[in-house]
Amino acid sequence: MPRKLKSDIKSRQVPRDKESQMEFVEPQVYLIAESKINFDQLKAMLASVGEETATSWFARTKEASKSEGELLTEVAGRICYKSFGVGLNPNVTKIRESSRDYIDNTLSKGDGSIFEHATCTFAFLNVSRVLTHELVRHRVGVAISQESLRYVRPTHLRFWLPPDLQEKKTEVKSIVEQIEQNYHALERSYGWDKLNFDAKKRITSALRRVMPEGMATSIVWSANHRTIRHVIAMRTTESAEIEIRFVFDKVARMMKERFPLIYNDFEFTELEERRERGDQSTTRFERRGWDFHPWRDAPALPPRDLNPHDREVTGCQVG
Ligand SMILES: Cc1cc2nc3c(=O)[nH]c(=O)nc-3n(C[C@H](O)[C@H](O)[C@H](O)COP(=O)(O)OP(=O)(O)OC[C@H]3O[C@@H](n4cnc5c(N)ncnc54)[C@H](O)[C@@H]3O)c2cc1C
């Protein structure tokens, strides 16, 4: 049985026919993991920090909470000033009771650090090297694992057709098929069965240079919510590249659904002209009130309320 399986794999990997196996694909976004809370430890910690005041705050908040990532963010923020309830910190005379008010206020002040505690892990499949090259420019608060085209020898080319090339689909297909056929002709000129793994790796790595930048590949991307918010804002803007807009449009919708408080201040705008052009990324996500986008004039941050009597302590101050 193992011998038969091996020969099957070989024939799939190096097609002998001239027929191209190239296929058009669409980028896919999967949220494959997110931060989870150890509730026993958290409850013990809150009892230690704030006894009944903190544990009853937790019981009320957990009940209303939609995600552990948001709960974790709020706990991290409230620990800064012991604002789990009145009485724990003599400087605090009132607190924001609801998680929505608390997170909204933190976002409007720009206190971003508490949003670094919870993370999400995405798998982006069928994305081009164009997209992955842009994605990895975001360095802060991320972890990246990308399909290695030194090790993985492609069996056939998969390719996403951008809307601007839709009318030229036949021509694009023909070009990519020719590349694929030429690639396989060159690939077949090596005696793969006689090569050791190191030699296979070196030749696979050398051969990838003739592949198009648009070839579909995969990447796993983990980021904290502060980073995800930043990247959504930058990569769904109208001037961002179409494929990364397409992917981060999906990310933004997932995040708004899964973490409604953390992404509450994101609003999306339907871009009619894009729809008319057949563009699938017809929305732009923007943060209300603050915007670090360097390609547009950023509106001023809302003024901070510095009156200590009126102001509820919500999270760690910036700077
Ligand atoms: C529409 C668009 C067009 C683009 N065009 C080009 C282009 O033509 N050529 C090109 O090379 N790139 C281009 N880029 C990429 C862009 O210049 C950034 O490299 C990329 O978007 C990463 O964003 P970031 O700098 O915010 O980094 P991130 O890693 O996402 O950092 C997040 C934030 O952390 C802070 N930060 C990060 N690193 C540092 C640091 N070393 N020192 C101090 N503060 C830091 C900054 O406030 C930064 O905004 C483009 C991006 C977009 C969205």
Is residue 71 within 8 A of residue 37, CB to CB? The reply is: yes
Is residue 261 within 8 A of residue 66, CB to CB? The reply is: yes
Tell me how far the alpha carbon of residue 277 lies from the centroid of ligand 1, in angstroms. 28
pLDDT in tens, 217-268: 999 999 999 999 999 988 988 788 989 998 998 999 899 999 999 998 888 7
Tokens read off for 285: 């996500």
Using CA atoms in the order 170, 174, 180, 184, what is the torsion angle rounded to 10 degrees? Answer: 140
Task: Give the mean pLDDT of 140-162.
Answer: 94
Q: Per-residue confidence at 8, pLDDT binned at 50, 70, 90?
A: very low
Tell me the pLDDT of the chain averaged across its residues: 83
Report the nearest-CA residue for atom 20 of ligand 1: 137
Task: Give the mean pLDDT of 8-21.
Answer: 51
Tokens read off for 68: 């552990």
DSSP string, 80-144: HHTTTSTTSSTT------SHHHHHHHHHHHT-GGGGGSSEEEEEEEEE-HHHHHHHTT--TTEEE
Q: Is the pLDDT of residue 316 over 60?
A: no
Domain locations along the chain = 19-35+119-294, 36-116
Cα(233)–Cα(236) distance, rounded to whole angstroms? 6
pLDDT at position 287, please?
A: 54
Is 298 a pocket residue for ligand 1 (Cβ < 6 Å)? no
Q: Per-residue confidence at 290, pLDDT binned at 50, 70, 90?
A: very low
Report the nearest-CA residue for atom 34 of ligand 1: 140
Q: Which of 113, 138, 242 to mutate to test the pocket of ligand 1 (most atoms within 8 A of CB)?
A: 138
Is 129 a pocket residue for ligand 1 (Cβ < 6 Å)? no
Is 293 a pocket residue for ligand 1 (Cβ < 6 Å)? no
pLDDT in tens, 98-134: 999 999 999 888 888 999 999 999 999 999 999 999 9
CB atoms within 10 A of CB 110: 15
pLDDT at position 199, please?
A: 96
Is residue 262 within 8 A of residue 229, CB to CB? The reply is: yes
Its sign, for the CA torsion 214, 220, 226, 232, is: positive
Report the nearest-CA residue for atom 32 of ligand 1: 140
Share of the chain above pLDDT 70, in %: 78
Tell me how far the alpha carbon of residue 135 lies from the centroid of ligand 1, in angstroms. 10
Is residue 184 within 8 A of residue 15, CB to CB? The reply is: yes
Which of 13-17, 61-65, 204-208 shows the lowest per-residue confidence on average (mean pLDDT)? 13-17
Is 138 a pocket residue for ligand 1 (Cβ < 6 Å)? yes
The residue among 319, 131, 107 whose CA lies nearest residue 225 is 107
pLDDT at position 285, please?
A: 62
Overall CATH class of domain 19-35+119-294: alpha beta
Distance of CA 133 to the CA centre of its chain: 14
pLDDT at position 237, please?
A: 82
Cα(140)–Cα(163) distance, rounded to whole angstroms? 31
Is residue 265 within 8 A of residue 288, CB to CB? The reply is: yes
Q: Per-residue confidence at 271, pLDDT binned at 50, 70, 90?
A: low
Tell me how far the alpha carbon of residue 281 lies from the centroid of ligand 1, in angstroms. 21
Distance of CA 309 to the CA centre of its chain: 39
Report the nearest-CA residue for atom 53 of ligand 1: 234
Q: Which atom of ligand 1 is nearest to the CA of 240?
A: 1
Report the nearest-CA residue for atom 7 of ligand 1: 134
